[in-house]
Amino acid sequence: EDQLVESGGGLVKPGGSLRVSCAASGFIFSTAWMSWVRQAPGKGLEWVGRIKSKTEGMTQDYATPVKGRFTISRDDSKNMVYLQMNSLKTEDTAVYFCTTEGSYGGVFWSWGQGTLVTVSS
Amino acid sequence: ELTQPSSVSVSPGQTASITCSGEKVGQRYICWYQQKPGQSPVLVIYQDSKRPSGIPERFSGSSSGNTATLTISGTQAMDEADYYCQAWDSTTMFGGGTRLTVL
C-alpha cells in the first residue's frame, strides 16, 4: 500500500524560507511522478508543482503563483521528495500535501496526511 | 478553469450528481476526489469514469461535451464530503469543490 508522510511544516515570517519533505513507501518510487498540492484554510485544492521520474529527466512543472519561488527535488536513493519554498508570502499559508501520480501523470493516486505551513509575522 | 456548484444536497438513498464544467473538459480526462473534514483527499474516479480499487460501485463518472459529472447512486450518510474535479494538460487544475450534504 502506498504511504506518503510529510514533515517540516511550521511557522515562518513573510519573505522567509522553509523546506518540507515527503517520505514515500509501498510503491516503486523511482518511476513515480510526485506532486505537491496545497489547501489554504477553509479553501479548495491547489496544485503547486510536480517532478517527473529520472527517466523523464526529473523535469519539474510549477503553478504560476509559485514559479520562481518554489523548487521541487527528489532523492530516489532515499524515496524522498522535497519542496523548497523561498520568498514566502502570507497567501502561501496552507496544508501542503504530497501526492503520487504514478508513472505517467495526471491522476493523484495517493496522498499524504499533509503538513501545515503558516506564513505570518 | 473548472467550475463546480458550491453545494449539493441529497436525501439518503437518492442519487446525487455533481458537475464540473469548463471549455476544455471534453478534451482531457477528468478525475474526482472526495475529502472529508480533517482528512486528505481520496481518488474516487479517474479517466472520467474508472473507479480505483476499493471505491464502492455507487460512485460513477461520465463526461460529455464541456461537462463532467460525478454520480453517487444510493447516497449514504458516509458520502457527505467535499468533492473536487481535476484535469491535466499543460498544467494541472482543480475545480473549486462541491460540498455534498446528505440530509
Residue indicated by cell numbers 518510487: A29
State the pLDDT confidence band at B90, using cuts at 50, 70 and 90: confident
Question: Hey, is the C-beta of B97 within 8 angstroms of any chain A C-beta?
Answer: yes
Percentage of chain B beyond pLDDT 70 is 100
pLDDT tens-place values along chain A, 121 residues long: 999 999 999 999 999 999 999 999 999 999 999 999 999 999 999 999 999 999 999 999 999 999 999 999 999 999 999 999 999 999 999 999 999 998 888 899 999 999 999 999 9
Contacts 24+ apart (CB under 8 A), A16-21: A16/A88, A16/A119, A17/A84, A17/A85, A17/A86, A17/A87, A17/A88, A18/A85, A18/A88, A18/A117, A19/A82, A19/A83, A19/A84, A19/A85, A20/A82, A20/A83, A20/A85, A20/A96, A20/A115, A20/A117, A21/A80, A21/A81, A21/A82, A21/A83
Record the cell numbers describing residue A45, joined without a space.
Answer: 485544492
- Inter-chain contact A106–B92, Cβ cutoff 8 Å? yes
Rounded to a whole number, what is the largest CA-CA distance in chain A?
42
Question: Hey, is the C-beta of B61 within 8 angstroms of any chain A C-beta?
Answer: no
Q: Which of B30, B32, B40, B50 to mutate to test the interface with A (most CBs of A within 10 A)?
A: B40
pLDDT of residue A105: 83
- Inter-chain contact A106–B29, Cβ cutoff 8 Å? yes
Q: Which of A1, A104, A107, A109 to mutate to test the interface with B (most CBs of B within 10 A)?
A: A107
At B54-89, the pLDDT tens digits run 999 999 999 999 999 999 999 999 999 999 999 987
- Inter-chain contact B40–A63, Cβ cutoff 8 Å? no
At A29-39, the pLDDT tens digits run 999 999 999 99
Nearest chain B residue to A113 by CA: give it: B40
Distance CA B53, CA B58 (A): 13
Q: Cα angle at B20 between A37 and B46, to 5 degrees?
A: 60
Number of Cβ pairs < 8 A linking chain A and chain B:
51
Residue B54 contacts by C-beta under 8 Å, 6 or more apart in sequence?
A: none
